[in-house]
Structure 1
Amino acid sequence: MMRKGAFEMEQLKKICNVKIWLIILAVIHTVVGVLAQMEFDVDAQMEISGVFLAISVYILYAAFGTSGQEQARWATVLCGPIWVWFVVCGALELEGVGNNSWSLSPELIPPLFVWGMTALSGILHWNADDAPATEA
């Protein structure tokens, strides 16, 4: 019989499915974070968008090219630093590319949530076994 805390942790691990969060992040990052903001007639913007699209490739690799513990560690290593980067840029109110400026505002909540949940899912499954556990 599972203790209440262990049951809640198992439920949290189900919600924080690493592969699902990586796929969600890749789609949102590519469509909303890169393509929707791309100005096709500005060369500098195209170069920056190309770099950001490379991040999507890494995320998709982590989602479809890895599994288990390796996938969880990829998610943590890719998404954790980017989440921290969002927080630091917002706290310091840094200026972004073009007319973008950073501040801790409601606009920052969706990317913080998606990047944070993906990193959290990786942390929760960091030491996951690839083989399912059997009960004695």
Structure 2
Amino acid sequence: MDKEAKSMDIKAILNPKIWLVLTGLVHAVVGVLLELDMNNETQVVVSGFFLLTTFTMLYAAFFTEGEQQARLATVIAGPIWVWFVICAVQGYTLDYEGETFTFELSTSIPPLILWGMTALSGIVHGNFQELTK
């Protein structure tokens, strides 16, 4: 397979729209809703705020296109990827009125892959070098 064909395969796999939708839905279902305890008011408030990210991602996926969509994928997912890395390295703990969750690198790998691929899809398609001209 020649270099151009490999590049096209990578660009097809790293489609920002697909990664925005996939990561947004996995974030909402697995990262927020499955873990939600409706009897824990603090958790409900924080989870509601976390769900806003999914709406932003779905907006970017369905109401933007091209470079704008790719750049939004990077701007949304990139900082979250960095946040997961920092939390895992520092071993931060969330405490929801007695229910605790400690960030560990081993349990952070799936979200790091999802958020990282979403950010990378934006980097690949975002044409960021044009911003400096």
The question of a shared fold, defined as TM-score above 0.5 by the shorter chain, is answered with yes
Structure 1 residue 6, shift from structure 2 partner: 2.8
Question: In proportion to residue count, which structure has more helix?
Answer: 2
Q: Does 1:53 align with 2:51?
A: yes
Matches of 2:68 and 2:60, distance apart in 1: 8
- Runs of at least 5 residues in structure 2 that lack an aligned partner in the other structure: 129-133
Out of 38, 41, 65, the residue aligned to residue 40 of structure 1 is 38
1:20-40 Cα offsets, whole Å, 9 max, x none, are 111101110010011001110
Match of 2:73 in 1: 75
Instruction: List 4+ stretches of structure 1 deviating above 6 A.
Output: none
Residue identity over aligned pairs, in percent, reads: 46
- Runs of at least 5 residues in structure 1 that lack an aligned partner in the other structure: 129-136
TM-score by length of 1: 0.87
Aligned pair count?
125
TM-score by length of 2: 0.89
Structure whose alpha-carbon radius of gyration is higher: 1
Superposed, 1:113-124 pairs within 5 Å as 113-124=113-124
Q: Which amino acid letter does the alignment assign opposite residue 70 of structure 2?
A: A
RMSD of aligned alpha carbons = 1.5
